[in-house]
Amino acid sequence: MKLPISMEHPLMSVLHHAYPYAILSAYEDAQAWISENYIHISVLEPQQVNQASVYMGYADGYTYINEGRANAILTSNAADTFLLSKHDILDLLIYNIGHSNYVVLFVDEFYLPSCRFYQTNHYLHEQLLYGYDNEKNILYGLGINNAGVFSELSHEYKDMAEAYHKGLLCKIHGKIEWAEQNRLICMKPSEKLDQFKYLSEVYESKISQYLSGTLSERDRFYSPIFAPGTLHTGLSYTHYVFSHIWDKDFGLFRHIHHLHEHKGLMERALCYWEKNKLIESNKLSAKYKDEVCNPMSIVRNYLLKQMQIQSNHDEQTLITVKNRLESVLESEVAILSDVCG
């Protein structure tokens, strides 16, 4: 038994972006909502520059999607810790998946043969589980495989049970208290996905907000602005990267990769708008792909290649990245300004 998922255009950098996106992308009726909400990108700048958190839309993590549950496209519920202590974990997984719930489970990846930390490091990390086979005793999921790639995975029942129970003793996670309180999270798409229709008058304001680096009141409500730091959103996120490109602790590749993935999301949004006649031109998505997505991919691959040669970026590498990124930004502004008329 397997629930639908889509790996056609996966988000690979942060799992709390990747899992909701992989779920919703499998449902055609969710595409309108995705094209509206995954085009925004924000970064919360903390006091320590290497701890910045990047957000996409407000389908971020496993909590923000619950605001206004009556109208939520994807709800999430964390299992009560008392419930977890009284029931067999495999029974809970099979029961929830059988009732159309996608399950995010925090486990110690040290005990999962298909995962990257198998027999090397103890790390409490989440796995998305979307299917099971009682004859083969296998759970089907998404996660980071032992080659470090986000992919579909298979786990034997006994391995997952051990990874879960041993994970109760594991204290290695970036947000350990939150992970311990949310060991098992059920996510379920709305039964009325067809109600999330894209409004033709919305897309121009969304693009305008992206270009100006602002958020609507509704989007700002869903953004994690309660955390300490400065929120940079839309194109101001790119300018934020420019301002820290020389900081050695910035984690430049992570941000370049986020920008690379975001351009793909924006291109797919433009394709959706063209397909549904929400914009007059039927060539903007192709132009965006040629002049923004492909050059951004070149920047990402160049930086990745340089990282394989040397761990620290030399001045010429940073200058090259900055110049190419500026060119991408200039093209993106020109194309998206045409969308807004």
With a cut of 50, say whether residue 337 has pLDDT above it: yes
Confirm if 38 and 74 have CB atoms less than 8 A apart. no
Average pLDDT over residues 5-15: 86
Confirm if 145 and 151 have CB atoms less than 8 A apart. yes
With a cut of 60, say whether residue 28 has pLDDT above it: yes
Integer angstrom CA distances of residue 91 from 88, 113, 132, 157:
5, 21, 11, 10
pTM for the model stands at: 0.87
Average pLDDT over residues 309-333: 89
Looking at residue 61, what is its pLDDT?
55
Extract the tokens encoding 241: 């990267």
For 192-225, the pLDDT digits (tens) are: 887 776 665 677 788 888 898 876 655 555 555 4
Looking at residue 300, what is its pLDDT?
94
Average pLDDT over residues 53-80: 66
For 100-132, the pLDDT digits (tens) are: 999 999 999 999 999 999 999 898 889 999 999
For 259-276, the pLDDT digits (tens) are: 999 999 999 989 988 888
DSSP 201-256: THHHHHHHHHHHT---HHHHHHS-TTSSSEEEETHHHHHHHHHHTT-TTS-HHHHH
DSSP 26-57: T-GGGHHHHHHHSS-EEEEE-SSGGG-EEEET
d(CA 311, CA 73): 42
Looking at residue 322, what is its pLDDT?
93
